[in-house]
Each structure stands twice: as C-alpha cells, then as structure tokens.
C-alpha cells in the first residue's frame, strides 16, 4: 500500500511562491485595515496564502506602533550643526555690538579731548 502523501498525483497543486514588493504589502495592509477586503479576499486577489496576509498585517501594525512610540510630541529639535551655527551667529552679533559700543565711546572720548 502506498502513502498518498508521497504520491505525486495525490498531492494538491501548489502555487509558486509570490514575492511581494513592499508597496504591494502596504497596499494589502491598507485594504484589510480600511475593510475594503477581508484577509481571505486580499489573499485571493494578490495570489498569496492567507497566512501571508496575516503576517503582513501583524508586521505593519508592529512597525506603526514602534514608530509612534519613538515619536516625541512637539516640533523636532534643531540638529547639532544648526544649534552650533545659531550659537555662533549670536556670539558674532554680541561681539559686533560690543565693538560698536567701544568705538562710539572712543570717538566721544577723543572728540572731547580735542575741544578741551
């Protein structure tokens, strides 16, 4: 007696594996998320197994949760380079004001000594 599982004619025809692009996986996730299609309908439409659709949805959900957990409220801070540049510009402006003040003081002092 032969085992029906090992007999080539007894095994069901398997579909070749389909590699989905990331954009296709995202489209499947959106269809299921927005209830445009059930997991079974999406699997049939895209030619993949339902477990593939379940895995795509699980991965997308986890990725979204991880991204939201890492996001901080408010506007993003300045980069270290931008912060250093702003600090340098403030220092230049402070020095410019100091030099201008000293120049005015010197001019007034020398101007008065000529009249005296």
CB proximity list for 26: less than 8 A, separation 6 or greater: 60
Q: In the prediction, which pLDDT does 70 show?
A: 84
Q: In the prediction, which pLDDT does 12 show?
A: 60
What residue ranges of the chain have pLDDT lower than 50? none
Q: In the prediction, which pLDDT does 75 show?
A: 73
Task: State the Cα–Cα distance between residues 116 and 106, nearest whole angstrom.
Answer: 16
At residue 64, φ and ψ (nearest 5 deg) are: -65, -45
| Model pTM score | 0.52
């Amino acid at each position: 007696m032969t085992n029906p599982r090992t007999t080539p004619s007894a095994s069901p025809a398997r579909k070749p594996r389909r590699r989905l692009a990331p954009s296709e996986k995202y489209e499947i996730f959106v269809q299921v998320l927005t209830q445009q299609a059930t997991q079974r309908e999406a699997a049939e439409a895209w030619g993949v197994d339902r477990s593939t659709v379940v895995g795509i949805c699980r991965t997308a959900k986890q990725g979204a949760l991880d991204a939201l957990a890492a996001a901080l409220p408010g506007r993003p801070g300045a980069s270290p380079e931008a912060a250093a540049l702003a600090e340098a510009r403030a220092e230049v402006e402070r020095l410019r004001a100091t030099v201008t003040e000293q120049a005015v003081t010197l001019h007034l002092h020398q101007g008065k000594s000529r009249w005296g």
